[in-house]
Amino acid sequence: MSWPNDPVLVRTPATSANLGPGFDTLGLALALYDDVEVAVTGDGLSIEVDGEGAEVADRGERHLVVKVLRRTFDVLDELAEAESGQVMGQPKGIRLRCRNRIPHSRGLGSSSAAIVAGIVAARALHPAGRLLDDDVALRLATEIEGHPDNVAPCLAGGLTVAWTTPDGPRLVRLDSQVKQVVAFVPEQRLATERARGLLPETVLHKDAAANAGRAALLIAALTGGLGASVLLDATEDRLHQNYRAPAMPASAALVAWLRAAGVPAVISGAGPTVLAFTTASQVDSMGPEVGNGWHEHPLDVASRGARVVAGEAQVRP
C-alpha cells in the first residue's frame, strides 16, 4: 500500500439542525459549501485558509480538519490491520487548503462541515478507505462532534432524521419538498457550548409532548409539501429556543416578528442565525421591516452531502 500522489478535493454543505421542534434530531443540508483540499506530502504540515476561519490557520496540529484527518487515518489503520495485517501509519506530511464559505459559530454547521471534510478526505486518501463505510463515517463524525444532528445531513444531504442507539448513531435521509430557505446571518457569533449551557435539565411533560407532535408534523410538512400554514404550526418549539433567547435577543425578536407575519421561522442550530422557510422574493417584499444587521442568504436545500469533487480546479487560497 502507498499514499496517492494527487490531492483530493472535498466539498461539504452547510447544515441547519433542530428546525424548531426537532431538537438534536432533525437536520437540513444547505447549498452553501466549504471546499477542502488535502494532499499527502513528503514531510511537514502546511495549512492555508481562505474565508471563514482564516484566523485559525496557524493552529497546526490543533486545527480541526487536521485532527480529524489524523484520527480517521488511525481508524482506517485499525480496520486495515484487522483485515490484512497491514497498516500505513500517519503520513509524513500533509498539505491542507481550505476555502470556507460557511459562517463560523452562527448555527450553520461549520464545525460539522470541517469534521466531515476530514473524514471524507482521509477515506479518499487512505489505501484502505473502502473499509470505512457510511455507517462508520457517521459514528466517527458523531463521536467527534458530540451529536449527530448536523453531521447527518452534511454526510447524506437533504433532510435527515438522526438518533442514537446502543450500537451507535443512525440516520434516515428524506427528500424535502421545500427546496429553498432564507438564512438571516448576523455579524455576532455564538459558541454552541454557551447556547447549550442555557438549557434546563428538565422540561414540562406537556412541552415535551407538544414538541414530539410538532416534530412529526414538521417531517410530514417538509416531505409532503403541506404549505406555509402547516409549516408555521410545525416549526413551533418549546424545548430550546426560548431558553436560549437571552444569548441572542435580536435573533429571538426576528423569529417572533417573522412568525407573527406568517413566515415559518426558527433558530438555526444553536444560533444566532435565523432560518425562514420562505423565498427571497417574499423576504424582499418585507423590505426594511426585517431590520438592519442581517446578511440574507437565499439557499437551496442541498440534495447531496459531502463528496469528493473530481475534475474541478484545486483550492487556491
pLDDT digits (tens, 9 = 90+) for 291-316: 678 989 999 999 999 999 974 545 55
Q: Is 313 annotated as a binding residue?
A: no
Give pLDDT, residue 209: 96
Decide: 42 and 35 in contact? Cβ < 8 Å. no
> Of all residues in the chain, what percent carry a pLDDT higher than 90?
80
Q: Is 110 annotated as a binding residue?
A: yes
Say whether pLDDT at 65 is over 80: yes
Give pLDDT, residue 314: 53
Q: Rounded to whole angstroms, how far apart are CA atoms 168 and 147?
A: 11
Q: Is 170 annotated as a binding residue?
A: no
**What ranges do the domains of the chain cover?**
8-166+302-308, 180-300
Assign domain 180-300 to a CATH class: alpha beta
Put simply, whether the predicted model's pTM sits higher than 0.85 gets the answer yes
Q: Is 176 annotated as a binding residue?
A: no
Q: Is 112 annotated as a binding residue?
A: yes
Mean pLDDT of the chain: 92
Give pLDDT, residue 218: 96
Q: Rounded to whole angstroms, how far apart are CA atoms 78 and 81?
A: 5
Name the pLDDT band for 191 (thresholds 50, 70, 90).
confident
| Reduced 3-state DSSP string for the chain | CCCCCCCEEEEEEEEEEECCCEEEEEEEEEEEEEEEEEEEECCEEEEEEEECCHHHHHHHHHCHHHHHHHHHHHHHHHHHHHHHCCCCCCCCEEEEEEEECCCCCCCCCHHHHHHHHHHHHHHHHCCCHHHCCHHHHHHHHHHHHCCCCCHHHHHHCCEEEEEEECCEEEEEEECCCCCEEEEEEECCCCCHHHHHHCCCCCCCHHHHHHHHHHHHHHHHHHHHCCCHHHHHHHCCCCCCHHHHHHHCHHHHHHHHHHHHCCCCEEECCCCCCEEECCCHHHHHHHHHHHCCCEEEEEEEECCCCCEECCCCCCCCC
Say whether pLDDT at 207 is over 80: yes
Q: Is 103 annotated as a binding residue?
A: yes
Q: Is 85 annotated as a binding residue?
A: no
Give pLDDT, residue 317: 43
Give pLDDT, residue 58: 85
Q: Rounded to whole angstroms, how far apart are CA atoms 20 and 37?
A: 34
Q: Is 46 annotated as a binding residue?
A: no
Which SS3 state, helix, strand or coil, does residue 79 take?
Answer: helix
Q: Is 111 annotated as a binding residue?
A: yes
8-166+302-308 CATH choice from 3.90.870.10, 3.20.20.30, 3.30.230.10, 3.30.830.10: 3.30.230.10
Question: Helix, strand, coil: what percent of the chain each, to 5?
Answer: 40, 25, 30
Q: Rounded to whole angstroms, how far apart are CA atoms 197 and 206?
A: 22
Name the pLDDT band for 239 (thresholds 50, 70, 90).
very high
The identity of residue 106, as a single letter, is: R
Give pLDDT, residue 313: 46
Give pLDDT, residue 198: 87
Say whether pLDDT at 18 is over 80: yes
